[in-house]
Amino acid sequence: YVVLAVNYRSGVGYGLDFREADDYGADGASEVRDVIGSALYLRGRADVDPDRIGLWGGSYGGYLTAQGLVHAPELFAAGVDVHGVHDWNVGIGNFRPDYEPENHPDLAQRAFESSPLSLVDRWEDPVLLIHGDDDRNVRFAETVTLARELTLRGVPHDLLVFPDEVHGFLLHRNWLAAFGAAEAHFDRWLRDRRPAMD
């Protein structure tokens, strides 16, 4: 595999303006453009099969994995979403305690439109969803809802649930299981996939 690690806008290491980029997260999901740009960069490399690009991430990276799969299904062949946000309105209170969607329907609408679930009808590519059912940062219900929506649409997906596990998996064996499942998922949908016929 060729691996590209992306420090997308609203990431860390470049100061507050970069960290709080315009229209990021629940305010517009601008950072998905960096994910798409990364795929376009990879497609231009001679050592990358443009039909076998996957993406994966945990937490915010899980959110961006789901965003990449709904915003650019033509660029990605598979994804692994580890405890990602799928609907900002479900758990945004964890990040913004003063958020009251019932008092600001315009903000709630923008938050939903900035969520992968708002475009789930565009989802085509197989995804592995991994989540601990005692996650207090990103509610497990978000992954359950996404899995249900993918099932209704016939999108290939697998769900790996760790009972009594929190957001940043506490048990080493669960990390090993998650990484092993991710590797198997990518082997199946990227490495072992037959090339497209022209």
- Does the annotation count 125 as an active-site position? no
Mean of per-residue pLDDT scores for the chain: 92
**Catalytic entry in 49, 59, 118, 133:** 59
3-state secondary structure of 138: coil
Return all residues near 115 (Cβ < 8 A) that are at least 6 apart.
26, 29, 85, 86, 87, 88, 89
| List of domains in the chain | 53-191 (3.40.50.1820)
β-strand partners of 54 = 78
**Catalytic entry in 131, 157, 167, 185:** 167
Highest mean pLDDT among 13-17, 28-32, 90-94, 139-143: 139-143
Q: What is the mean pLDDT of residues 13-25?
A: 86
- Does the annotation count 167 as an active-site position? yes
pLDDT surpasses 60 at 198: no
| Percent residues over pLDDT 70 in the chain | 96
pLDDT per residue over 130-189, tens digit each? 999 999 999 999 999 999 999 999 999 999 999 999 999 999 999 999 999 999 999 999
- Does the annotation count 135 as an active-site position? yes
**Catalytic entry in 87, 114, 135, 157:** 135
Closest CA to 118 of 126, 128, 127, 108: 108
Q: What is the mean pLDDT of residues 88-107?
A: 78
Q: What confidence score (pLDDT) does residue 195 get?
A: 64
DSSP string covering 41-65: HHHT-TTS-TT--EEEEETHHHHHH
Beta carbons of 171 and 155 less than 8 angstroms apart? no
Q: What is the pTM of this model?
A: 0.92
* Radius of gyration of the chain from its Cα atoms, rounded to whole angstroms: 17
